[in-house]
C-alpha cells in the first residue's frame, strides 16, 4: 500500500513539474492507474488535458521597460531554472494573484499548480502555487542577466541596466528576497514607536550591489553584507527606510501586494518622514 501511494505521489509530482508530460505517459512511467492519477491531479486544480502554451520567448532578451526590470529582479530572487528549458517560480499560495500577473505576462495559457510543499526545516507542509514556463530562449536570456540554475547564494546583479530601471529591478528582487517588518513592542512599552526593519538576503554580490546603489542614489550609509546562512543587509533607521520605500514604490503599480501593505503601514506611522 505504501509503495503504491509513493508511486502515485511521484507520478503527480512529475506531471506537475513537467509541462510537456501527458497523463498516459506519466501513468505508464510510474506504473499507476491513469484514471486515479487524473482524479488526484484534478483535485489539485491541475489541468490534465494539456495543450501547447503560448510563450513570449523573447521577453527577457532586452530589459528596456520597468516591468521587464521588475520581473527580472523577482525571478532572480524567487525563480529557478530547471532542466535547461523551464523557468519555475513557486510562491506561498496567498501570493498566487502575483504569480498570475507573471503568468499573464510570460505565458497566458500556462497553468498555475496548487500543492502542499514540504518545509525541509520544520518538516511541515505549506500551501504553494507554482508556475513553470518552457522556453530555452528565455533560459538563455535570463542566464545572460545573472539568473543561473541552482542559483541559491550565487545571484549576480544586472549591472548594465539603464539608470531609470534599477529601482524597478531592486523592487522585484526585494519582493522575492527582501522583507519589511514592523515589530510592536511589549505592552508596557506601547507608548514608544514600533521597531522597524527593512532588509535583503541573497548572495554577497547582490547584497553589495543593492547597498552600494542605495548609498549612491539616496545618500544612505553603505551597509556591508553580513554573512550567515546567506548574506544580509538590514536598515533600522526610520529615516532611511522612508527614503527606500519612496524610492522603490514611487509612481509604480507592479509590486507584491503583501509587502506593499506593510510599506503603506510604515508610511501611515511616520508621515513626517515622507518627502513631498
Pull the grid cell for residue 236. Answer: 533600522
Cα–Cα distance measured from residue 171 to residue 151, given in angstroms and rounded to the nearest whole number? 19
- In this prediction, residue 197 has a pLDDT band, given cuts at 50, 70 and 90, of very high
- pLDDT tens per residue across span 34-54: 888 888 888 887 877 766 568
For residue 14, what pLDDT is reported? Answer: 83
Three-state SS across 197-217?
A: EEEEEECHHHHHHHHHHHHHH
Cα–chain center distance at 72: 10
Cα–Cα distance measured from residue 275 to residue 121, given in angstroms and rounded to the nearest whole number? 42
Residue 36's CB is within 10 A of a number of other CB atoms, namely 13
CB 255 within 8 A of CB 97: no
Put the strands of the sheet holding 178-183 in their side by side order: 178-183, 195-202, 231-235, 226-227
Tell me which fold the domain 175-273 belongs to: Endonuclease I-creI (3.10.28)
Helix (H) or strand (E) holding 113: strand 112-118
Average pLDDT, the chain: 87
Residue 144 Cα distances to 62, 157, 165, angstroms: 10, 11, 17
- In this prediction, residue 154 has a pLDDT band, given cuts at 50, 70 and 90, of low
- In this prediction, residue 20 has a pLDDT band, given cuts at 50, 70 and 90, of low
- pLDDT tens per residue across span 202-228: 999 999 999 999 999 999 999 999 988
Weakest-pLDDT range from 52-61, 149-158, 170-179, 237-246: 149-158
Which sequence spans correspond to the domains of the chain?
2-43, 175-273
Cα–Cα distance measured from residue 201 to residue 134, given in angstroms and rounded to the nearest whole number? 28
> Is 80 exceeded by the pLDDT of residue 4?
no
Cα–Cα distance measured from residue 242 to residue 149, given in angstroms and rounded to the nearest whole number? 35
Which residue(s) pair with 88 in the sheet? 80, 132
> Is 70 exceeded by the pLDDT of residue 75?
yes
Q: What share of the chain in percent tops pLDDT 90?
A: 53
- In this prediction, residue 151 has a pLDDT band, given cuts at 50, 70 and 90, of low
Of 21, 40, 145, 127, which Cα lies nearest the Cα of 83?
Answer: 21
For residue 77, what pLDDT is reported? Answer: 92
Amino acid at each position: 500500500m505504501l509503495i503504491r501511494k509513493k508511486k502515485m505521489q511521484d507520478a503527480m509530482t512529475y506531471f506537475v513539474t513537467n509541462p510537456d508530460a501527458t497523463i498516459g505517459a506519466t501513468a505508464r512511467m510510474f506504473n499507476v492507474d491513469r484514471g486515479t492519477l487524473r482524479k488526484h491531479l484534478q483535485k489539485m486544480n491541475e489541468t490534465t488535458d494539456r495543450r501547447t502554451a503560448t510563450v513570449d520567448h523573447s521577453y527577457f532578451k532586452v530589459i528596456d521597460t520597468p516591468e521587464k526590470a521588475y520581473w527580472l529582479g523577482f525571478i532572480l530572487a524567487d525563480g529557478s531554472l530547471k532542466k535547461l528549458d523551464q523557468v519555475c517560480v513557486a510562491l506561498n499560495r496567498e501570493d498566487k494573484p502575483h504569480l498570475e500577473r507573471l503568468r499573464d505576462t510570460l505565458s497566458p495559457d500556462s497553468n498555475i499548480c496548487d500543492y502542499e510543499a514540504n518545509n525541509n526545516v520544520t518538516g511541515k507542509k505549506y500551501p504553494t502555487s507554482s508556475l513553470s514556463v518552457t522556453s530555452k530562449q528565455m533560459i538563455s536570456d535570463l542566464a545572460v542577466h545573472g539568473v543561473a540554475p541552482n542559483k541559491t547564494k550565487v545571484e549576480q546583479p544586472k549591472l548594465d541596466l539603464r539608470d531609470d530601471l534599477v529601482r524597478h529591478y531592486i523592487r522585484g528582487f526585494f519582493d522575492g528576497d527582501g522583507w519589511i517588518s514592523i515589530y510592536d513592542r511589549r505592552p508596557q512599552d506601547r507608548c514608544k514607536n514600533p521597531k522597524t526593519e527593512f532588509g535583503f538576503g541573497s548572495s554577497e554580490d547582490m547584497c553589495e550591489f543593492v547597498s552600494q546603489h542605495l548609498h549612491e542614489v539616496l545618500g544612505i550609509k553603505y551597509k556591508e553584507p553580513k554573512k550567515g546562512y546567506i548574506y544580509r543587509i538590514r536598515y533600522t533607521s526610520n529615516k532611511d527606510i522612508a527614503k527606500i520605500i519612496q524610492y522603490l514604490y514611487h509612481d509604480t503599480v507592479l509590486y507584491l501586494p503583501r509587502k506593499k501593505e506593510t510599506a503603506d503601514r510604515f508610511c501611515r506611522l511616520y508621515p513626517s518622514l515622507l518627502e513631498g
